[in-house]
C-alpha cells in the first residue's frame, strides 16, 4: 500500500492505494499540502483505533 498526494483545482488531496492500485481511502480537499500530509500522518497513527458497528 502507498499514499498518493496530488493537487487538483487549487486543493490538495490524498489517496491510500492498495497493491492493485485501487483506492482504499481518500482525503478531503486541503488548501495546503502540509495539511494533506498531516491528515496522512493521522491516518497512519490510527491503525489501532477501535471499529464500532452502528
Q: Is 51 exposed, middle or buried (0-12, 13-18, 19+ CB in 10 A)?
A: exposed
Structural domain includes residue 53: no
Query: Which SS3 state, helix, strand or coil, does residue 25 take?
Result: strand
Give this prediction's pTM: 0.85
When divided into structural domains, the chain yields a total of 1
Structural domain includes residue 54: no
Residue 7 lies in domain: 2-45
pLDDT tens-digit profile of 14-49?
A: 999 999 999 999 999 999 999 999 999 999 999 899
Asked if 38 and 50 touch (Cβ cutoff 8 Å), the reply is no
* CATH number of domain containing 17: 3.30.160.160
User: Where residue 8 falls among pLDDT bands split at 50, 70, 90?
Assistant: very high
Amino acid at each position: 500500500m502507498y499514499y498518493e498526494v496530488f493537487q487538483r483545482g487549487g486543493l490538495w488531496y490524498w489517496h491510500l492505494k492498495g497493491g492493485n492500485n485501487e483506492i482504499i481511502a481518500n482525503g478531503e480537499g486541503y488548501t495546503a499540502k502540509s495539511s494533506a500530509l498531516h491528515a496522512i500522518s493521522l491516518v497512519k497513527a490510527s491503525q489501532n483505533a477501535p471499529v464500532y458497528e452502528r
